[in-house]
Amino acid sequence: MIVFVHRKDLRIADMPAFTYISRKGSKSLHLFVLDPVILSERRTEAASGRHFMAMLARLQELYRREGAKLNVVYGAPEEIIPQAALLHEACEVVVHRDDTPYARQRDGKLEKTLWRLGIPLTVLSDQPLAEPDEFHRYAGRQTPYKVFTPYYRKWSEFVRDTFQPPSAVSLRQLTTASLHESLADAYRSPFRIEPLPNEESMTEPERALGAFVGSKLSDYADRRDWYATDATSGLSAYINTGAISIRTVYESMLEGETYEAWRRQLAWRDFYLYQSALDPLFFRYERHFDLSILSDRHVDAWSRAETGIPIIDAAMTQLNETGRMPNRLRMVTAMFLTKNLLAPFPFGESLFRHRLADADNVLNRGGWLWSASLGFDAAPYFRIMNPESQSRQWDPAGEYIRRWLPQLRAFSDRDIHRPLPHAIVDLKASRARAIDVYKQILSSAGAMQREVDEKEPEPGSAL
């Protein structure tokens, strides 16, 4: 018996773990553990939690249709999984790799407990196209890449040389078991997993991929930043929960010509996953730099869409009402909070992590570090996006602002981008102040050397 634990892999197609179990020829017990540390009541009520639970409901239904069993329980994974493995006389526990601090701590505890029971923990790669350690060996480097462009060149070579098509092993080929009744009762979930509203919900990820490849991909490079038209892929919420595999997404692109802009977005995603695995500071830059000069004074106004800067308030309104925000505006709003409003980036990072339906801990942090000029290949401290200029450039007619701030519909195309009289900050003065402040912050790292290339491209985090 092999125990397999679903986590950020809410699908049944192209599963490295299924391929592994199939090769072993063993019966398997499939679990999903609703971890109260991650899926608190607050999280399940937020957009990110609601989407995750919807994808979990979809996963349950996919199992049911395949005549297989997914056992959903609630509690501490490091407590439940060893008990299940012991009770079912498992020879092995299998999971897909996760590199967040909590995941490492959780899996470390799990591995130690299983080791004492004589049961190995096998960790397989699933999230990136280029598994960080394997890619690092391929590159032959002693230190990680800190700048995206050389990373991307080597990443392109690696993916070209090593990419494996999605696995054909299906859930039907596995023999799944039901969790022992005593454990199922002891760790019964307090959450009701609502059934999906309709049949179309079952194929959401695949339909989103098909729609993107069929109608948006050819214009992606030219249109993705024109946020009023929603020209992005719309796939990030499915990729980040593992409802569709990154290999399936990549393969769909290979069927036609190579689209460079889209490839770069996939590479940026891997670059953040690479950093999370190999940069020891990735999850603690706020402790590495002295951010005490910053303040949370304006965080509430920013979060409530009450800054008086039209494009910022429109973007935050969309986020608050729908759990979505175009990638271009994620950068603009994040840089506005960290630079113009001089707020510590963790405040914005935490809010995005809860309110974005497609939230991913690693990718979200990577985007906020970039905006705050911290970490690998971050935006130079003197590069500060002007919200008014960004609004005029990417949506000259102000369609997006009118959509989300209908009270401004009567404004002319010229005036609709301008800060309102009650704006909480002056854009020009706050920019000058931010440059001075962030120069001071970056010098607080002492011996830490940062590689800054003013010409580096902007990252992508919401595909």
- Provide the pLDDT for residue 459: 59
Backbone angles phi, psi at 260, to 5 degrees: -60, -45
- Provide the pLDDT for residue 455: 41
Considering the domain boundaries, does residue 297 fall inside one? yes
- Provide the pLDDT for residue 257: 59
Strand partners, 122: 94
- The pTM assigned to this predicted structure is 0.89
Query: What is the C-alpha separation between 430 and 295, in angstroms, rounded?
Result: 14
Q: What integer best gives the mean pLDDT of the chain?
A: 90
Instruction: pLDDT band for 451, please (50, 70, 90 cuts).
Output: very low
Residue tagged 């730099």 (tokens): 289
pLDDT greater at residue 256 or residue 198: 198
Q: What is the CATH number of the domain that holds 435?
A: 1.10.579.10
Q: Which of 93, 126, 159 is the last residue of a domain?
A: 126
pLDDT (average), residues 394-414: 96
Considering the domain boundaries, does residue 219 fall inside one? no
pLDDT digit string (tens) for 16-30? 999 999 999 999 999
pLDDT digit string (tens) for 335-380? 999 999 999 999 999 999 999 999 999 999 999 999 999 988 887 8
pLDDT (average), residues 280-306: 94
Closest CA to 405 of 391, 393, 394: 391
Find the domain containing 395 and state its range: 285-443
Considering the domain boundaries, does residue 262 fall inside one? no
Q: What is the CATH number of the domain that holds 10?
A: 3.40.50.620
Considering the domain boundaries, does residue 139 fall inside one? no
Residue 55 in tokens: 């994808």
Strand partners, 5: 31
Considering the domain boundaries, does residue 256 fall inside one? no
DSSP 74: E
Considering the domain boundaries, does residue 108 fall inside one? yes
pLDDT digit string (tens) for 134-160? 999 999 988 999 999 999 999 999 999
pLDDT digit string (tens) for 9-18? 999 999 999 9
Considering the domain boundaries, does residue 203 fall inside one? no
Considering the domain boundaries, does residue 48 fall inside one? yes
What kind and span of H or E run contains 123?
A: strand 121-124
Share of the chain above pLDDT 70, in %: 95
How many structural domains compose the chain?
2
Query: What is the C-alpha separation between 197 and 204, in angstroms, rounded?
Result: 12
Q: Which of 69, 99, 126 is the last residue of a domain?
A: 126
